[in-house]
Amino acid sequence: MNRILIVDDDASVRSLLARYVASDRRLKTIEASNGAEALGLLREHRDVSAIVLDLRMPVMDGWAFRKEQRRDPALSHIPVIVVSGADADRFHELDAAAIFEKPMPLATLLGAVQRVCGY
């Protein structure tokens, strides 16, 4: 079973994404409301297979999170799938496994998660 970290400050979006991703019974989700919380969960759960990341969040946004994640050798290998409605012109800077602008079809997101998990 692969553990997927969903990071989004909007609780309803986060919950929707987590439920949809977990509809694939091979995937288990955990959730964080910002980048700082996500880093804490990644250090606690060393078995995270992929991260679904929003960019615009309070406390620590997705840009700062990605910078810290890439800096940490224990976390830098985890693929990131960006799902955001902002900063599309800068997406290339994130070096993400996949990038989607909100709104996007949930099936498209699930397909990207499955791909990075090797399904």
> Is the predicted pLDDT of residue 33 greater than 80, yes or no?
yes
Domains of the chain: 2-116 (3.40.50.2300)
pTM as predicted? 0.95
What percentage of residues in the chain have a pLDDT greater than 70? 98
> Is the predicted pLDDT of residue 88 greater than 80, yes or no?
no
CB 52 within 8 A of CB 83: yes
CB 33 within 8 A of CB 14: yes
Q: For residue range 6-31, what is the model confidence (pLDDT) as tens digits?
A: 999 999 999 999 999 999 999 999 99
Tracing tokens 């224990």 back to the chain, one arrives at 74
> Is the predicted pLDDT of residue 64 greater than 80, yes or no?
yes
Q: For residue range 36-47, what is the model confidence (pLDDT) as tens digits?
A: 999 999 999 999
